[in-house]
Structure 1
Amino acid sequence: MTTPKFILDLRAKVGHDLLWLTGITGVVLDDAERVLLVRRADTGRWSLPAGILEPGEQPAPALLREIHEETAVEAEIVRLISIDTLPPGAYPNGDQVQFLDLCFHCRLIRGEARVNDDESLEVAWFPLDDLPPLQDRELKYITTARTPDPVPRYTGRPG
């Protein structure tokens, strides 16, 4: 995976110290209520399509860009479903990060799901009753996307 230039520039100044970044995640559902997942090249785990917000980008268009870059699928935003501060973490090289993650419910417009970059090993649609192992927060995101509540879930708000 290629590290964006703006992060490389920041790392040149702050070294491995904690960087606060904005993450964007998408729960992309098709008309059959299947969810789009990618098997990440860095961890080998199945995951929702996700990425980071780059300087000057707006969250929703950036997520649609990430979805297309990773899966070749064109989607549209339905609504913001979750705002979460994720726990701090570190990459194998020692770089420390913490993400504010904005998760959106998205709907398939067109495109055949396939690996479209070097960040994914596989891309597939999964029925909701036959999901591969996912992180707990991703399962919550999927559940929240399927609820009619228009208010995003956030820490301190039940959901």
Structure 2
Amino acid sequence: MLNERNYIRFIREKVGHDLIFLNFSGAIIYNQNNEILLQKRGDRNAWGFPGGAMELGESATETAIREVLEETGLKVEVEHLIGAYTKYFDEYPNGDKAQTISFFFQCKPIEGSLKADGNETLELAYFPITHLPPLFVKQHQDAVEDFIAQRKGCIR
């Protein structure tokens, strides 16, 4: 079965850098101090939420849980869907273009401890909602606005 990286590579071998749809899931994880967890991403050297591309046969919720564990070392419980963010475009450092569709979930940590691998995740830190660094893409900015406003099931 193709996994996320193989699937994207498989598609890119056929379409090159052309614009395609890519589906992602991410998590806004909060702690007991009402701070939210951000990941400094290795591919952009910028802050965002843990998450990544869906694998074939995987649900959006399963993707969020798997990606959080891989990128942070935390097992999380998904509480609810914050929103689906569908009309966003990105160009990656290698020239690939995509309309990115992301599902963001509100999650709480239930097990594990933070660990950054130094490659995909350069740094992990909890931030007060009132003192967030700039986030690397508009989808993440919109998702945190919806989280702060306590919205559920947004579609943008």
- For residues 1-159 of structure 1, the aligned pairs below 5 Å read 4-116=5-117, 118-134=119-135, 135-149=137-151, 151-155=152-156
Tell me, yes or no, if the aligned pair for 2:102 and 2:139 is still in contact at 8 Å.
no
Change (3 A) 1:96 1:138: closer
| TM-score, normalised with respect to structure 2 | 0.87
Greater strand fraction, Structure 1 or Structure 2 = 2
Any idea what SS the aligned residue of 2:108 has?
strand
Fraction of identical pairs, as percent: 32
Any idea what SS the aligned residue of 1:92 has?
coil
C-alpha root-mean-square deviation of aligned residues, in Å? 1.9
Structure 1 unaligned segments of length 5 or more: list them.
Answer: none
Tell me, yes or no, if the aligned pair for 2:42 and 2:122 is still in contact at 8 Å.
yes
Any idea what SS the aligned residue of 1:46 has?
strand
CA distance in 1, matches of 2:95, 2:76: 35
Structure 2 unaligned segments of length 5 or more: list them.
Answer: none
**1:103-125 CA distance string (max 9 Å, x none):** 11111112222204621110111
Change (3 A) 1:152 1:91: same
Any idea what SS the aligned residue of 1:10 has?
helix
